[in-house]
Structure formats: C-alpha cells, structure tokens
Amino acid sequence: MSILDDMVNGISKEVNKVQERGQEMFQSFNLSSQIKDLERKKSAKLVELGRLIVDKHHLKKEVTEDQIQERVNEVVGYEDQIGILKAELDTLKTANDQSAPASARSEAKAGFKPTPGFECPRCHAPAARDRKFCPACGETLGAAPKAADDGPVDVEAETVEDDPSSNAENN
C-alpha cells in the first residue's frame, strides 16, 4: 500500500505544480491584456490631442490650453498605469523564472515593486522610492529624488515610530 500512497502523493504534487503554473500564466495573460487595452486608450487620446493641435494651428479653430492639457494629463495617466502594470508583470515573470538570480526571485516573491520611472543613480537598476537602498548594488537611494518632487523634506518629522512595519520594509 505504501507504493500506491507514494504514487498518489507524487501525482498530487505534480497536479499542484501544474495548477500553480496555470494560475501564473493566467495572471500574466490578464496583465498583458490590461496593458494592451491601456495602450489602445492612450493611442486614442494621442490622436485626439493631435486633432486638437491641428485644429488650433492649421484650421485656426478655438482650442484652449485647458483642452490640450486635459488630453496630455489623460495620456500621462495611461502611461503611469501602463508602467505600474508592466512592473507587476515583470515581478511575476521574475518570481517564476528559474534562470533569474535567486536574489531577484526572492525580492519578487517578497513583493518588491520598483517605482515606475525611478532608478538607482549609480547602476540605473529599477528601484522603489520608498526604499533606502538599491536592490541591485546597495547604493543609498536617499530622499534626494523625493525631495525634488515633494518639496523640502523635514527629516526629523519623518520617523518610523508611527509604523513599526515600515522600518522592516525599508531595510
């Protein structure tokens, strides 16, 4: 009976692996579909923006800067959403890629998500704004880029006493 039990356990483990891989592929497909949908919407907004510019400069129609800025903001919003989804897709792929470095796989499985458009100043690897150090080279990321975006930073006011989990995440 133990041989039969071993076979059943082995088959169950393999079935679980196949199910996990199927779920991973399904998540990857969904993310890719969302990205393509956002890219289509972004393209449509770019066409609208182009029409507004042609109307304003060539046809001399009354087009306000607010109308143009609204379309630009929509395009930028789509680009941001696409960047977030691509980062999520990359994380999913890295977590399951056996040829990826072990450190990258463990970061992906631990939930490390780089901030789209933010990179290490030394090695240019994708990095997260809320992290103190680059995951690739260990360079101090610091608050310099954040300070440029958000204005002056009062270091004494930013303590981690309020949220003990943030201390573990940042180290």
* Structure confidence at residue 109 (pLDDT): 67
Q: Which two tokens stand for residue 139?
A: 């360079």
* Structure confidence at residue 161 (pLDDT): 43
* Structure confidence at residue 20 (pLDDT): 86
CA dist., res. 93 & res. 105, Å (int): 9
| Mean local confidence (pLDDT), 151-167 | 43
* 152 φψ region: left (φ > 0), alpha (ψ -120 to 50), beta (else): beta
Backbone angles phi, psi at 162, to 5 degrees: -70, -35
Closest listed residue to residue 83, CA positions, set 43, 107, 50, 117:
117
For 3-25, the pLDDT digits (tens) are: 888 888 889 999 998 998 888 88
Which residues are CB-neighbours of 155 under 8 A, at least 6 positions away? 143
When pLDDT is cut at 50, 70 and 90, the band that residue 1 belongs to is low
* Structure confidence at residue 108 (pLDDT): 67
For 26-83, the pLDDT digits (tens) are: 999 999 999 999 999 999 999 999 999 999 999 999 999 999 999 999 999 999 899 8
For 89-116, the pLDDT digits (tens) are: 888 888 777 787 777 766 766 666 677 7
Global pTM exceeds 0.95: no
Q: Which two tokens stand for residue 1?
A: 């009976």
Backbone angles phi, psi at 119, to 5 degrees: -140, 165
For 126-149, the pLDDT digits (tens) are: 777 788 887 777 888 865 443 344
CA 89 and chain centroid, separation: 8
* Structure confidence at residue 143 (pLDDT): 52
* Structure confidence at residue 171 (pLDDT): 42
* Structure confidence at residue 61 (pLDDT): 92
